[in-house]
Amino acid sequence: MAKSEETFFSKLFSSLFQSSDPEAKKKKKLRAIAKDLSKTKYHFYKNDEVLPQMAKLFYEIYKAVFPAQVMFNSIENPNALKYMVVNYALSEQQHQIAESLTKESIQAKAQGVPIEQLTQAVQAQLGNFLSAFDAEHISQIDLTYRNLLIFKSFCTYDFFFFLKKFDSTLREGEFNSIPKFEKINAEYIAEDLKDFVTVAKPVIEVADWSSLMKLFKTAKGSEPINPTVWNKITVKLRSIISTQTFDLMLKLITKNPDYYTEYSITEEPIVDAYLDKIKQEAENTLTQLQTAQKNSQIDNYLNQIFGTTDVVRLRNYTDSASAPFERKNLGKFLYAGPINYYKAFLLDYIKKDLREFTDLVLIRGTWSNQSLSSPMSNAYNALLESTEKINKFDEKIAEDGEIGIKLKTHLPRAERDRDARGIISTLLNDINEEAKTICIDATKNLVAIAKVLKPLMEDYAKPKGDLIINWRELDKFADHPIKQLGTDVYKHIYLFVSLMQNCFTQK
């Protein structure tokens, strides 16, 4: 019989008696797997039992990595490792720049440097610091962090829980006595072994651990594990995993010939988050300093104008009345400060000193050209008319006012009703825009008056006025010296306009 015919009939004969039972095929595969496992040099498994040899290996690893385990478990801040990796990668110059960009450093410099100059310097330093991180540098840092996470996952594996199944008398973290490991039913450690393989396989993918060990040496003062011991562990793991010992064991333990341990390696970019933190802290600190300076300037102007910083003249559009909306994150009365300051200025100065001065120059004064008085006259009348605008504005927000009723109605429902939140948001926006308009219009009118007031005072000092020709006659009707009155009015307008400028640049 020809060889080809013999092969043909052999295959045919075999197919006639081959079982089609899936369970039989599975058992056949498992027998083959058991045979492959027996050929490896690592004898950890026999007859559905895990042998003490495997526990001994895990115990030696446990002893070696225990200090690292303690170290990692003691780290409370989840970002601490990220910062440690990035800091290690910084040059000495970058460390100095990073230190200069901290909140404490910037605040210290603010004691002796004008905020504008400090802002420029910090922004320049920040730009230099960020530009030093090129793609290659970032990639190396991210790789180091990736390796650190692999190392951490392996070291924090629960070796004690695994080993306790082989020796119930084992005590965590104690290595003085020699454990008495017994063989156990393989099913007892099936899930534990699966977990171990998921943290062990990534370890052998790292070709060089020396840079990570240097990182620990620099950042912590010592390595959490002896580098030589760690290298021996990685060599052993690489040998075991290359023989597929763990995979073959799990196929047999789970009775699944197709079982394969899935694992993943965390790839987390950390440089961007680190740089954002540095940038955010520096910018927030500058903003806080600028705000503090603005508040200080505002308080200074308030004290000069009113003799106090507690200036509230409205009943309803106030900071305290804004609190219920702020507590529910609905918004706030944005211009409660400026409009209250304006109402106070209107009552304390515009209707007193400014009125006295304008009555003199606009009513009793003889202008060389009457059109020259129009800007001052129009601005002053607009300021007086704004009294009614402010009063009506404030009345609308009262509990029984047009807007106040709506706010009061929708506020209790705002936390659970999106429409109510939307209505309140719209109402607050409209109210704030109206308050802003009143303040800006008032400021413009005061500036218009100041532009006429200054040349008037210069004109008054002349032997014979060019703008007003009867200054000497006006002196007879003035309750206060005209020069002093005009100077005081101009000074207070200047202070008030400066106050408004600070208030609105802060928004």
State phi, psi for 185 to the nearest 5 degrees. -60, 130
Longest alpha-carbon distance in the chain:
147
Res 507: pLDDT: 56
Res 15: pLDDT: 53
The Cβ of residue 490 has, within 10 Å, a number of other Cβ atoms equal to: 18
Res 155: pLDDT: 96
Give which of 224, 264, 260, 73 is closest to 160, Cα–Cα: 73
Structure tokens belonging to residue 292:
């503090």
pTM, two decimals, is 0.64
C-alpha 495, offset from chain centre: 38
Instruction: Give exposure, 38-61, as e/b (b: 16+ Cβ within 10 Å).
Output: eebebebbeeeebbbebbbbbbeb
Rounded CA-CA distance 93/111 in Å is 24
C-alpha 216, offset from chain centre: 28
β-strand partners of 367: 468
Res 263: pLDDT: 86
Res 12: pLDDT: 52
Give which of 152, 172, 155, 126 is closest to 61, Cα–Cα: 155
Give the strand order in the sheet containing 49-50. Answer: 45-46, 49-50, 184-185
Alpha helices, DSSP H, located in 243-270 = 245-253
For the purposes of burial, counting CB atoms within 10 Å of the CB of 484, is it exposed (0-12), middle (13-18) or buried (19 or more)? exposed
pLDDT in tens, the chain (507 residues): 455 555 655 555 555 455 567 888 888 998 998 899 889 899 999 999 999 999 999 999 999 999 999 999 999 898 899 999 999 999 899 999 999 999 999 999 988 888 889 999 999 999 999 988 989 999 999 999 999 999 999 999 999 999 999 999 999 999 998 999 999 999 999 999 999 999 999 999 999 999 999 999 998 888 999 999 999 999 999 999 999 999 999 999 999 999 988 888 888 899 988 999 999 999 999 989 988 888 899 999 999 999 999 999 999 999 999 999 999 999 999 999 999 999 999 999 999 999 999 999 999 999 999 899 999 999 999 999 999 999 999 999 999 999 999 999 999 998 888 999 999 999 999 999 999 999 999 999 999 999 999 999 999 999 998 999 999 999 998 889 999 999 999 999 999 999 999 998 765
Give which of 290, 26, 63, 16 is closest to 174, Cα–Cα: 63
State whether the Cα torsion 440-442-443-449 is positive or negative: positive
Res 253: pLDDT: 93
Res 5: pLDDT: 54
Res 7: pLDDT: 61
Give the length of the chain: 507
The Cβ of residue 229 has, within 10 Å, a number of other Cβ atoms equal to: 15
Rounded CA-CA distance 95/302 in Å is 43
377-382's contacts with Cβ under 8 Å and 24+ in sequence apart are 378/448, 379/444, 379/445, 379/446, 379/448, 379/449, 380/354, 380/445, 380/449, 382/441, 382/445
Rounded CA-CA distance 9/83 in Å is 71
Torsion angle of alpha carbons 386, 388, 393, 395, nearest 10°?
A: 160
Write out the DSSP string of 88-107.
HH--HHHHHHHHHTSHHHHH
Rounded CA-CA distance 240/302 in Å is 78
